[in-house]
Amino acid sequence: MLQQTARGLRPPYLLAKSTLMTDKTDLSKRHIRSYVLRQGRVSPAQQRACDTLLPRFGIPYAARQIDLDHAFGRAAPKIMEIGFGMGESTAAIALEHPENDYLALEVHTPGVGNLLKLIDSRNIPNIRIIRHDAVEVLRDMICDGTLDGVHIFFPDPWHKARHNKRRLIQPPFIAQLVQKLKPGAYIHVATDWQDYAGQILAVLSAEPLLENTAENYAPRPGYRPLTKFEQRGIRLGHGVWDMVFRLMV
């Protein structure tokens, strides 16, 4: 149900506007995008899913903090996934772990539409989607100390040296992400690009509030399914590196 406010209508899970979210023209709010909006072809089924299902399973971006329990309709552990691609792994994890709620962030319409189709066809109740930039969602919508885990699977490696600054995993982003975690919550990053794996491991290790759950790289946790692309890479001898860090209690 929408609530009437001085500025109009807003969903009840949107909390009062934070004093930190003020002038959108403030240059301090700008940041380097970690993605390029390559939409690709949106199939009619994907577009139809966005049109009909996103109002039900989506959370619109707004510069207001969100009550996640209200958005999911229950109190349960909250796991955020940043950049879910076409959503197959997201759907599989959510089905396998109905005790958790999964907040999935993605900017590309084909992937959003595909995950919505999976939610509908497999009757998955514990996923909500925000189609917006993850940095701005974290900054504007997620309350401190609310997340039980974060999944970042195969972020864009930006393999050209001159583009490395666009990589998502940088110290300022991790420092921001850590603020949103509950004590004992985890960050799980996986990449198939060795150079990026080294950078990610260095960045996570340098964050004083995080501790590595492994000596260096972790074995793939059982909850992360192998993608078709990953299986093909393994057959060809390509590496995949998982890193799982926890917020110290």
Which tens digit of pLDDT belongs to each residue from 105-160? 999 999 999 999 999 999 999 999 999 999 999 999 999 999 999 999 999 887 77
Residue 162, in any domain of the structure: yes
Residue 51, in any domain of the structure: no
Which tens digit of pLDDT belongs to each residue from 86-115? 999 999 999 999 999 999 999 999 999 999
Question: Mean pLDDT score of the chain, rounded to an integer?
Answer: 88
Residue 176, in any domain of the structure: yes
If pLDDT is split at 50, 70 and 90, which confidence band does 1 have?
very low
Q: Which two tokens stand for residue 101?
A: 């709620």
**Quick check: 37 pLDDT over 70?**
no
The answer to whether 26 is a known catalytic residue is: no
Residue 19, in any domain of the structure: no
Q: In Å, what is the CA distance from 15 to each residue of 83, 168, 193?
A: 25, 27, 39
Residue 20, in any domain of the structure: no
Which tens digit of pLDDT belongs to each residue from 190-218? 999 999 999 999 999 999 999 999 999 99
- CATH code for the domain in which residue 119 is found: 3.40.50.150
Residue 23 is predicted with a pLDDT of 41
For 96, other C-beta atoms within 10 Å of its C-beta total 12
On whether the CB atoms of residues 40 and 112 are closer than 8 A, the answer is no
Residue 43, in any domain of the structure: no
Element (H, E) at 205: helix 194-206
Residue 26, in any domain of the structure: no
Distance CA 51, CA 152 (A): 26
Q: Provide the number of structural domains found in the chain.
A: 1
**Quick check: 4 pLDDT over 70?**
no
Residue of higher predicted confidence among 168 and 3:
168
Residue 84, in any domain of the structure: yes
If pLDDT is split at 50, 70 and 90, which confidence band does 28 have?
very low
Residue 22 is predicted with a pLDDT of 39
| Percent share of the chain, pLDDT over 70 | 84
Task: Write out the residue range of the structural domain in which residue 208 sits.
Answer: 57-247
DSSP class per residue in 14-34? B-PPPTTS--TT-GGG----S
Angle CA 14–15–17, to nearest 5: 105
Catalytic residue selected from 67, 69, 156, 242: 156
